[in-house]
Amino acid sequence: MIMNKIGGGRRFQGKVAIVTASTQGIGFSIAERLGLEGASVVISSRKQKNVDEAVGKLKGKGIEVFGLVCHVSNAQQRKNLIEATIQKYGKIDVIVSNAAANPSVDSILETKEPVLDKLWEINVKSSILILQEAAPHLQKGSSVILISSIAGYQPQASMAMYGVTKTALFGLTKALATEMAPDTRVNCIAPGFVPTHFADFITSNADIRKAIEEKTLLNRLGTTEDMAAAAAFLASEDASYITGEVLVVAGGMPSRL
Catalytic residues: 162
DSSP per position, 10-56: -TTTT-EEEESS-SSHHHHHHHHHHHHTT-EEEEEES-HHHHHHHHH
* Element holding 188 (H helix, E strand): strand 184-191
DSSP per position, 82-115: HHHHHHHHS-EEEEEE--------S-GGG--HHH
**CA atoms of 91 and 139, how far apart (whole Å):** 7
List 226's β-bridge partners, or say none. Answer: none
Q: Which spans in 135-199 are helix H?
A: 160-180
**CA atoms of 6 and 14, how far apart (whole Å):** 18
